[in-house]
Amino acid sequence: MKVILFGAPGSGKGTQAIVLSDYYKLKRISLGDIFREEVKKDSPLGNEVKNYMEKGLLVPDTLVSKVVEENLNDENFILDGYPRNLNQAKTLDAILEKKGASIDVFIYLEVDEPTILERLTKRLVCKKCGANYHLINMPPKKTGICDKCGSELIQRKDDTPDVIKKRWEVFLKENQSLLDYYKEKKKLVAIDARGDKDIVLTRIKDKLS
């Protein structure tokens, strides 16, 4: 099974992708994680994407497609954070076609602006291992300290209200043509992503079954 998990920042893509990849035995490909790792390593790619990420802007398609092609083969996978627009979707189809593969399902996690503001302004991430926490829904056992590795928890620079609203505006501008594209291909599955993560997971499993 080859799956795309799509939704606005704060829709729960990362959380659901981890659980679904384990449950269905899929390779998880998260562009956000890949980019953040490159930024942390201070690599040429990391330096290239850093300014875009900190301003809440999308990384250019040419850079993104290069990373995707390097991380995709013919095995089963779940894509988290790509494609984000119609051009990227068509590029992805071309990449997969060269590898003799295609997308099976496009899962759209539907949320609203108040939900993502609530989720992202209270999100914390481990400075070292990248684990995510939430001050209300999933707090660390010890304030400001990662449960997994004991490192400091920080707020990402793109998780401030102004940047979140910018990301939301960019998302709304880009998403409709992408949804229409997969709807026409009869691969679109829309999921109400508001509420507890376990409830959302059950909704996804029910649709996929």
Number of helical (H) and strand (E) elements in the chain, helices listed first: 8, 8
How remote is the C-alpha of 45 from its chain's centroid? 19
Q: Is the dihedral of CA 47, 98, 30, 111 positive or negative?
A: positive
Question: Structure tokens of 62?
Answer: 């040419």
Query: Where does the chain show beta strands of DSSP type E?
Result: 2-7, 27-30, 77-80, 105-110, 123-126, 132-134, 153-154, 188-192
Is the distance from CB of 81 to CB of 30 less than 8 angstroms?
A: yes
Spatial distance between the Cα atoms of 123 and 174, rounded to a whole number of angstroms? 24
Question: Structure tokens of 64?
Answer: 């993104």
Positions marked active-site? 13, 84, 123, 156, 167
Is the distance from CB of 81 to CB of 174 less than 8 angstroms?
A: no
DSSP reduced 3-state for 160: coil
Is the distance from CB of 122 to CB of 136 less than 8 angstroms?
A: yes
DSSP assignment letter at 94: H
